[in-house]
Every structure is written in C-alpha cells, then in structure tokens.
Amino acid sequence: MPVIVDRETLGLDLRTYGEDELARRVAAIDDEVLARIHERADHYLYGEAKGLIAKAATLAAIEVLEGTARQPRWKRRKLKGIWPEEAREPVDATDEGVDRREVERAIATALSEAGYQKPPGDRGVFVKQLTDDVRGRVGYFIQRLRTGELEVTPTVGVRHERIHDLIDGLDERKGSRTEPTATIILGYLLPQKDPNLVWRFDPETSADDVAAGLVEHVVRFGEPWMRERVSQESIIEEVRADRRVNPERLPAALLLAGRPDEARAALEAELNEARGRTDAAAQNFRRFAERFRAEVFALTADSSETGRQRGDRRQRG
C-alpha cells in the first residue's frame, strides 16, 4: 500500500510519536526531501511498522531528516490533544467496539477459501502461488472509528521471488519474505478508482458476509492485475514506472531478464539520483550498488568471456 505523505499529516504523525522537534522541521522541507520520506515510508510499512501507516511515515522521516534510523521517542502512539477529534485511531485488540480478532478470522477464512495462505510471522498478509517464481499477495490495514466500527483497506500485489533473492543476497538489510515487488490499493482497481474505498465491519452486520464481499472483489479485480504482472517484462515496466519502489528492484529485474547492460544503466541512473544525499537510504543503496557491480557483473563478465573463448575454439577447430 503506498504511503501518502504530505507535510501536514506527517507533522501530526511525528508529534503523536513524541517527535516534536522533527515535526517543526517538516513544514520547511522541500519536495525532494518529502519524496525521499515517501519512498522510505513504503519500505518501513511492510517491515518494522507492521502495517501502521503513521509509524511507517514517522520512521521514514527520522531516517531521512536525521541521516540514521532509530525508533520513535514514544513506543505507543498518543492521539489525544494532537490529532483532530475526528481522527481514526489504529485498532488495538483491547479497544471497545467490533472485535478485531473476529474480523481478522473472517477475512482469513474468506481468503483461505479463495486459495490464499497466511505465511508465518506476517500479520495481515496472505499469498497465493501464481507461478513457480511469482506469488500473488493480499494485505489489509485496519482502522477503528470513534464509534467502534472497523474499516479495512485491502491491497494486492505480486512478489517475484528471484528478484528479492538476488537483492537480499547483496543487501545487508534483509527484506520481509512477503514484501511485494509491486503493490496497489484495491480501490484503485475498482470502477470508481477510489483509494479510500473501505469495507466497514459493524456490530449489526455479519463479519463473514463483509469479509466474503471483500475477497470477492480481490478475486474479481485484484487477481487480473496480479496475473498481468507475472512476466519478467511486465514487472520490469511496473517497477520502472513506480518511483516509490526500492531502487534495487529495477537493476535486479533487468539483470535476471538477461539484460545486463540495461541493468548497469539503471543502477547508474539510481546512483545519480542519490548523488549528494547523506541519508541512510542513500548510503545503503550505495553499498548495495558496490556489491551489485563487484559480484553480479563480475559473474556476467566471466560468463561472457567463457562464451567468447568457446567461440574462438570452435572457429579454430
């Protein structure tokens, strides 16, 4: 789910985690810095933030503005007196209102019936094998209204395992085993193309019925999107078009597609984009690029040389 970061919301999110000093700095940051926070927020959303959008944005802002990653000053978010009264709060199992556990059970049952499995350790994520190398992915985020109802925002995605295996082998920051290569909010795929579309669970409606309707839309609108991004060429175009994704993915996808020259060019282009930046994300990517050049391109060079030598031998024969 792409994390939409704007200055006003980001400032509020930072304050709710005790980061008042960074919140004051946010109003003066330029669009380039805001874009870097946006990109890093997507990275944190599927890892440390455990699906909490505000925490993902906060962690990203800390990393980009301070140049190093750390946890927020407050472990638990505090909304009272900071967020507007109509704010929605992240749900907690102890909150009053619709039981989150019942909602999660209903969604899990409906997705299981549609062929999705829940990987161990990843809350709110379900996967379905599409090919030997590619898995479809369904995620969701839950927010509780002040009335006690729960709203669920589903996302769909695809994960190309070979791309992530290559990146993880060269990147010191190991990604989640369900982190998507590409993802989109399900609402964008429906006729109304509304990213704010939610499925609301209330005490008067069966949780199983609402969950069944949600999964019906996943199958009808989400799965065609997934299958259109199974091929190497389609995922290359997807990550090329979506600038929010991690910069490692395009070079890795091109290399695995047998296009090493384009992979090298993509890597250099991303390094140029990061030139002059000193934040942790840029530094991590430079270290990745060094390993990518030294280890991966060395292998392709050795392979090419072997091929030329074999060709020379055939000609001499």
Number of domains forming the structure of the chain: 3
**Mean pLDDT lowest among 79-88, 113-122, 262-271:** 79-88
Residues 65 and 11 in one domain: yes
Residue 235 reports pLDDT greater than 60: yes
- The domain boundary, picked from 230, 249, 264, lies at 230
pLDDT attached to residue 294: 82
pLDDT attached to residue 90: 46
Residues 2 and 65 in one domain: yes
Tell whether 317 is covered by a domain. no
Residues 225 and 238 in one domain: no
Residue 1 reports pLDDT greater than 50: no
Residues 135 and 226 in one domain: yes
Residue 80 exposed, middle or buried by CB count within 10 Å (0-12, 13-18, 19+): exposed
- The domain boundary, picked from 37, 63, 86, lies at 86
Tell whether 53 is covered by a domain. yes
Chain segment 4-47, per-residue pLDDT in tens: 557 888 888 898 999 999 988 888 888 778 877 877 887 787 66
Q: What is the DSSP string of 33-93?
A: HHHHHHHHHHHHHTTTTTT-HHHHHHHHHHHHHHSS----S-SS---TTTS-TT--EE--T
Residue 244 reports pLDDT greater than 70: no
Chain segment 294-307, per-residue pLDDT in tens: 877 666 665 554 43
Q: What is the DSSP string of 164-231?
A: HHHHHHH-SSPPPTT--SEEEEGGGGSTT--TT--EEE-TTS-HHHHHHHHHHHIIIIIHHHHHTT-S
Question: What three-state secondary structure class fits 107?
Answer: helix
Select from 45, 6, 35, 9 the least CA-distant residue to 183. Answer: 45
Residues 20 and 144 in one domain: no
Tell whether 314 is covered by a domain. no
pLDDT attached to residue 142: 85
> Could you list the residue range(s) of the whole structural domain that residue 65 is in?
1-86
CA distance 288 to 293: 9
Residues 200 and 137 in one domain: yes
Residues 300 and 250 in one domain: yes
Query: What is the average pLDDT across 203-224?
Result: 95
Tell whether 24 is covered by a domain. yes
Residues 108 and 79 in one domain: no
pLDDT attached to residue 83: 59
Residues 53 and 180 in one domain: no
CA distance 125 to 26: 32
Residues 216 and 236 in one domain: no
Tell whether 316 is covered by a domain. no
pLDDT attached to residue 308: 42
Question: What three-state secondary structure class fits 150?
Answer: strand
Is the Cβ–Cβ distance between 287 and 172 less than 8 Å?
yes
Residues 163 and 292 in one domain: no
Tell whether 201 is covered by a domain. yes
Strand partners of residue 126: 138
Tell whether 162 is covered by a domain. yes
- The domain boundary, picked from 86, 106, 122, lies at 86
CA distance 123 to 47: 11
Tell whether 210 is covered by a domain. yes
Chain segment 251-303, per-residue pLDDT in tens: 999 999 999 889 999 999 989 988 887 777 778 888 889 989 887 766 666 55
Residues 79 and 113 in one domain: no
Q: What is the pTM of this model?
A: 0.70
